[in-house]
Amino acid sequence: MSIPPPERPQDEPTRRYPAVPPAATAPPPGVAPAAVPAGTVPAGTVPAAGGPVAGAAGGTRVETRLTVETGRFWAGAAATALVAALVGVVGVIVLEQILRIDLVFRDPFGTGSAMSAYVLGGVLSAVAAAALLQLLVLTTPRPRAFFGWIVGLATVVATLLPLTWTDQVGSALASGIVNLLTGVAVWSLLNGVLGWTVRRVAA
């Protein structure tokens, strides 16, 4: 009687182990290590805390601030003051001398006439608005927005004030229209002047 051979155990499944990367070796003596391109960080390294932060293009982020070219800015402000004065002159000629509407105005400087009062008021308004705009550019994060709100509200007040000075509605409305046109001229022209003279420089 023959004896059957013993049963062989089934083969175990082959186990695969992750490949171990070879250890980094130092370059042979006399050979310089490979240079790393500027602006790149080798894999596995972390920049030191407090160092410069690389941007998307590999450059460092630079803090900036807004400034204005003072000479050109104030030349534009002077031209704006001239326009504001001429708005007053045209308003007085059309409303008071052609349409025969008595304008209501305040004369704190004692000029003695509506035309002189509006001319002086337009010049002072333009100069004050220009100084305010330059201050906002140097101190606030959104100078155009703040300047628009301040000058806009001041123009509304100047337009409505004549209604509180007299009971003659026609005269008050005519005076308010002149004030409104002056405020709009100052706001729009100084915004244009700022667009041509503002610069962003390193902080």
Cα–Cα distance between 15 and 177 in angstroms, integer? 92
Q: What local confidence, expressed as pLDDT, does residue 67 receive?
A: 84
Cα–Cα distance between 89 and 96 in angstroms, integer? 10
Does 71 fall in a domain? yes
Does 47 fall in a domain? no
Does 13 fall in a domain? no
CA distances to 85, 95, 137, 162 from 102, rounded to whole Å, are 19, 8, 40, 12
Tokens of residue 91, six digits: 């308003």
* Structure letter (DSSP) for residue 60: B
Domain of residue 113 covers 64-202
What's the length of the chain? 203
Does 142 fall in a domain? yes
Mean pLDDT by 10 residues, the chain (203 residues): 53 52 54 50 44 51 83 96 96 93 85 89 96 94 95 96 91 94 97 91 76
Cα–Cα distance between 103 and 93 in angstroms, integer? 11
